[in-house]
Each structure stands twice: as C-alpha cells, then as structure tokens.
Structure 1
C-alpha cells in the first residue's frame, strides 16, 4: 500500500507573541511552542532562515495571540497597564503587531482585552503608527522608509544586532545574521534597503536620541 500526499498547502495556524520573562509562557495546561523550543540556535543556517522568515510567519497566520505579561486583568488597572506595557517597547514585537491581519491582546491571566482593530486610537497613541497603516494589508513598500523607521525609534532589543534584524521583514530585505558586528549591523540594513528602494527619506529622518547614525532608530 502506498500513501500519496495530495495537499501541499500550509494549514491554517495561530501564532504567539510575547516578551521574554523568567518563566515559561503557558495557557492553562497547554504549553506553547515558542521560539526556543522550535529553533535550533546552534545551527547558523536554521537561525538565518528563521530570522529572515519571521515576518512572513506572522503575516500568514490566521491570528496572533499577544500575551501581555505585565497587564493585569482588573478593570481599574487594564487601561494604565496596557499603555505602559513593555510589549509595545520591544523591537521584535513591532513586526508581530504589523504583519498579522488579526492580533488579539491578552492579560497576564489570559483574559482577552482587545484586538489590533480596537481600540485603534489607543494603539496609535502608544505606537505612533496611524490606524490606517496599522490595519492595512497593503504592501509596506508603499509607505516611506522614514515613516517605518520612526515606528521603531523608541523600541529596544536585548542584542544590539537585533535592532536591525527585527526590521528586515518590515523593509522586505534579507541578510544573514551575524551576532558579532554590533552597530555595523544597522549600516548593513540601510545598505540593503537602498539596494531595493529609491526612497531617500531614509536620509531625511533623524532621531536625535540615536547614538549610531542619523538614520538609525534608538533600539539599543
């Protein structure tokens, strides 16, 4: 007897977004398979492929569940906690907010408190991203480089190199990750952007809090 595979399509899937804490993220009795479980970080080839594909993984997901570990469930704390949530300050979560069509936010107790579509005004105020850009499924290349850079300006990453790698999907560029070149990684990102774009607003945008170059967002 032979088994013939007739469907090569990728099944529908949900994806998880969270900010690292000391404890593993759980949902009741179900342990989520987050990236440390799924990526062989000892393999440079697998690490490179995963980092370069991350935006696509989130964009093709049916839904993204954003677990906000520092947002309490009680109604008196939710609004303040949501605005101050560290999830909105991290470099990698920018693409995890923008790429999926649907993002559902949960408190630390896994209580649903909103989606990317609502409350729009609050999300725009927190992120600086206009609601139209936040909800649009259009190609990001239609938006200026300066605008996209500004979205990342106040976000932080643990590794300095990740401030560039976390933006590759947003700028639709690819480059091998090298976790030893420090600030030069962002220069490489700029060079890759200029290879595929004639939008020179990359030179017009300036973040005075940045320490590396006039076009580098402060994500260190």
Structure 2
C-alpha cells in the first residue's frame, strides 16, 4: 500500500505493518485535472498547477493538522498502468477505507453558509451522494468528516446520520457502524440503486466490499460485470433477497433471474390477483421463498415469489414465472 507523507508529499510503499493514515473521498474532476501516480512522483510544474494536486495538498494539510503523518488518495497512490495493481486496489478498496483512522469527504460542489438540512441545499444535492464509489467510502470508515469546496468542515457522519439517511436512503444503523451482515443483500443493493459510475463495469466493482466478495475486474465486460457480481454473491450467502428485484427499466425482463443493474433494487412488486395456491419452500431470517400455482388465459404457470425483509416488518416481494 502506498501512502503520501503529509509533510513532504513523498510517496512511500508499505508492506505488512501499515502506519495510521487519513484517507480522502472525493468525486473526480475531468481526468486531465486529476494527478496520476506517475505525475505525482515527478511533480512537474504543470502537475502542481492542477486542481487535483491542490486537492491532495489540502487533504495533506488537514491530515497534518489532525496529527496524521500519512494520507491515501486514490488518484495518485495506485499505479493504474499495472492491471495487477489496479485489480488488487479495487478488491481492497473497502478495506483501505475501513482501516483508515479518519476519512475526509470533500464535497467540491458545496459551499459554506447554508442550512445543510434545507430541501434544496447543496449538501443534499451534492454529486458526492450520487456516485457509485462513494457509497463504500461513506459506510466503511470509522468516521467521515465532510468538507465544503473551501475545505471548511460541514460536519461528521456520526453527528449527521439522520440527515444522511434522509439524503441517501441508507439505514442509520449502517452509518453508525452496525455490521453490514445485519442488512439483506437486497437492502444493500438498494443503497446503490440511485448512484452512477463513469464506466458501466464499476456499477459492480464499486460494490465488492459491501458484499465481502473478490473477483477479477474486467473492463470491457459491460453489463456482464454486474451479473458476475451477483453470481459471486450467491456462492457465499443463503440470502435469497438478491432475487428480489423489479423490472424498472427496459434492460430488465421479467423472466431473468439476476438483475441487469442496481437500479432494479429500488422497489418491490405488488400482489398478483390470479394467485390460486401458495406453498412455502424456504424460510430464514432474511427471506421467504414460495411456489405459487397461477392460471393465465391459456396456460398454467408456477411463480416463485421471494419476499424479503426483517421478519418483524412487512415483506417486499419479487416474482419469477416458471413454465
């Protein structure tokens, strides 16, 4: 793991014993404005003039002020020319944030001096809350401190959990450190549903840590990446709520078993008025699978219903037709 010395801004690679470090979460500007690993090592005048370099400087200054000697920033601490290193970083990203002492979340489109909770505040509408990669960066760290564009503090995650839940739909318990295993797979997928990524494959790759899975990232895989992610999740869990997605866009077709994208986890389906008979197949603390016999205009179908949610609450449902 490479870290930036917050005093000298020199990179150092660590193996084994990793010193305490701060970590930066941010939304990328245009690629030409961010600083790559190679550029940061050479630090030419043109590099130091980039907005991305100034962002690293300000993060280092804040870390020094808070007593941290080391800092991790994704733009310059990963050699993205190495496919092996990039793959390792993508699979380790959640751990990088979880093991940090503090996370600085820079909301570059937010200014100071407004009521953060007001309906149309810059905080509520910040693109930081709409990016795929920042989901794990919000949940994984021990603590997150939010900063506006001028690096003035907006607040801490621990103190703003109710507001952040309202903005993102992420359960407050997840924001204050409850284990992710307490939340169904479908629930965790729903947190990602309103978020977007620049590359379609990253819709899957940014979620590795939320489901504790590892797999090779293959850019060029397109929508197959999200299917591969779900197949990997199925290998390691008996949580069948993964099948509880809805046909909410043209990508999705009712007869498919796995969802084409996280968007399909926004909501559940209603009841079918033609249901005639229902038999429970499986019950656990996350989901109930039921096989129903229903009649259509010309055929009799069997429908597999997946109802999911905490047993103490009303279940949401998803239907798959078998014939």
Q: What is the match of residue 281 of structure 2?
A: none
Structure 1 residue 11: Cα displacement? 1.4
Which range moves more in the overlay, 186-195 or 121-130?
A: 121-130
- 8 A contact 2:116–2:124 mirrored in 1: no
Deviations 1:49-88 (A, max 9, x none): 0000000000011110000000011236785000000000
Residue 52 of structure 1: aligned partner = 91
**Could you tell me which residue of structure 2 aligns to residue 21 of structure 1?**
29
Deviations 1:84-127 (A, max 9, x none): 00000000000000000100000000000111112222101111
Q: Which has the larger radius of gyration?
A: 2
SS in 2 for 1:66: strand
Asked whether the 8 Å contact 2:21–2:72 carries over to 1, the reply is: no
After superposition, the CA RMSD in angstroms is 2.2
> How many residue pairs were aligned?
211
* Deviation at residue 28 of structure 1 after TM alignment: 4.2
| Residue among 176, 187, 192 paired with 2:227 | 187
Question: What is the alpha-carbon distance in structure 2 between the residues aligned to residue 200 and residue 76 of structure 1?
Answer: 41
| Cα distance in 1 between the residues matched to 2:174 and 2:191 | 11
Question: Mind listing any 5+ residue stretches in structure 1 that lack a counterpart?
Answer: 1-7
**Where does residue 168 of structure 1 map in the other structure?**
208
Shift of 1:206: 2.5
Deviation string, structure 1 residues 108-163 (Cα, Å, up to 9, x no partner) = 0000011111222210111101111211242x123200000000001000000000
Contact preservation (8 Å) 1:27, 1:110: no
Deviation track 1:190-211 (CA, whole Å, cap 9, x = no partner) reads 0000000110101113361473
More relative contact order in 1 or in 2 (CA 8 Å, sep 6+)? 1
**Distance in 2 between the 1:67 and 1:29 partners?**
9
The equivalent position to 2:188 in structure 1, one of 118, 125, 148, is 148
Q: Is the aligned partner of 1:217 residue 2:217?
A: no
Q: 1:60 to 1:28 in 2, by over 3 A?
A: closer
Gap change, CA 1:210 and 1:60, over 3 Å in 2: farther
Runs of 4+ off more than 6 Å = none
Q: Which one is further off, 16-25 or 106-115?
A: 16-25
Give the gaps of 5 or more residues in structure 2. Answer: 1-15, 31-50, 62-70, 265-323
The CA distance in 2 between the partners of 1:77 and 1:203, in whole Å, is 36
Question: Is structure 2 residue 162 aligned with structure 1 residue 121?
Answer: yes
Tell whether 2:110 aligns with 1:71. Answer: yes
Secondary structure in 2 matching 1:133? helix
Q: TM-score, normalised by structure 1?
A: 0.88
More strand by proportion, 1 or 2? 2
